[in-house]
Amino acid sequence: MSRSDAERRLRRILPVMIAILALACPGRPARGNPPRPGERLVHLNGESLDVTWDMMTRTPRTITAVGSDLLEVKNIASLSRREINEIGGVLAGKYAALLNVWPDQLVLKKAEKTEGSWYVSYQQAVRGIGVYGSSLGFSIGPDGRIKSLGALLYPDAQVPAAPGIQRGKALKIALESLADPDKSGYRVLSENLAIYPVRKAASIDYRRVHIFNIFPRKATHPASAADGWAVFVDTRTGEIVHHEAVLKPLGCCLPGGQVSDGTGK
C-alpha cells in the first residue's frame, strides 16, 4: 500500500476510531447506570439502547440504538474488506461493556457487499480456538449507518484441559459412531478443533472437541445428493458430545454455526 493510499484510508476511519477510543479509555467510567443483564432499555455512554439478553451467558443477543445509530461510517462506497474489519473492531470495542468480549477475541468470518450494503460476521475465539456457534454480526446500510447488532457470545469460555485423545483415535471413535458397518465407504472432507458449549439447566460446560465432517465417498461426485455427518468428539474423554447431519459437502469445518446479522431474521 502506498503512503497516499494509507493516508486516505486512515482519514476515512480515524474520526470513528477516535470517538470510540475516547469512550473506552481506561479509567474513564461509562456515562449512565451500569448495564444490568435482563434490563431491556440500557443507557450507556450517553446512548439509549434496546437490548435483548441471553440470560445464561448474561450477554446481549441484540443491541439496537434508540433514536440514533450504533455507528455511522463515512465513505462506505470506497471501503475495503480490511477497513470493514477494523470498523467491526471499533463497534465491538464500543459495546464491550455489554458484550464482555473484546475485539481481539473476534475473528472475521464474513464481510460481503451486496447492493451497497455490507454484511459482516465474526466468530469468538479463545487462545486461537473457535467457540462453536458463537457469533457477532451486523450490517452497514448504503448510507453508512449501523442500526443494530446481533450476537451469541460466551465471556466465560475457556480452553479445557490438554487433550488426552489424539486425532487418530478421535477419528476412529467418530467413524465407529456411524450406523453403516462399511467404514471404508466414508472419508473426512474437513475437520477442526473447537470449544463446544454444552448448555445445562443452570450452567454451561465448555468442551474441547475435534469436529469431523464425514461423507460417503460417493458424495464427492457432483451429481450426488448424498449427505454426511458432523461428529464432535471430546478430546479429553473420547465422548461424542454432538452428532448432526450436514448437507452435501460444503467444506465447512464448523457446521451449523449460524451468524446473526443483527436484523433478527
- Between 179 and 100, whose confidence is greater? 100
Beta bridge partners of 197: 206
The CATH T-level fold of domain 167-246 is: Nuclear Transport Factor 2; Chain: A, (3.10.450)
Q: Mean of the pLDDT values across residues 177-197?
A: 87
**Burial environment of residue 89 by CB neighbours within 10 A (0 to 12, 13 to 18, 19 or more):** middle
Q: What are the CA-CA distances from residue 19 to residues 16, 22, 31, 229 (Å)?
A: 5, 5, 14, 47
If pLDDT is split at 50, 70 and 90, which confidence band does 34 have? low
Torsion of CA 49, 54, 56, 58, to 10 degrees: -20
Q: What pLDDT sits at residue 14?
A: 47
Among 18-32, 82-96, 180-194, the least confident range: 18-32
If pLDDT is split at 50, 70 and 90, which confidence band does 29 have? very low
- Give the three-class secondary structure for 71: strand
CB 24 within 8 A of CB 91: no
What nine digits make up the cell of 259?
A: 451468524
Locate the domains of the chain by residue range.
3-152, 167-246
- Give the three-class secondary structure for 153: coil
Q: Mean of the pLDDT values across residues 202-214?
A: 94
If pLDDT is split at 50, 70 and 90, which confidence band does 183 have? confident
CB 177 within 8 A of CB 211: no
What predicted TM-score, i.e. pTM, was given to this entire model?
A: 0.80
Dist CA 263 CA 86 (whole Å): 21
Dist CA 147 CA 59 (whole Å): 18
Q: Does the CA dihedral 16-18-23-24 come out positive or negative?
A: positive
- Give the three-class secondary structure for 59: strand
Residues 99-144: tens digit of each pLDDT = 999 999 999 999 999 999 999 999 999 999 999 999 999 999 999 9
Torsions phi, psi of 253, nearest 5? -85, -20
**Burial environment of residue 166 by CB neighbours within 10 A (0 to 12, 13 to 18, 19 or more):** exposed
Dist CA 173 CA 195 (whole Å): 18
Dist CA 247 CA 226 (whole Å): 8
DSSP state of 176: H
Residues 150-169: tens digit of each pLDDT = 999 999 999 988 888 999 99
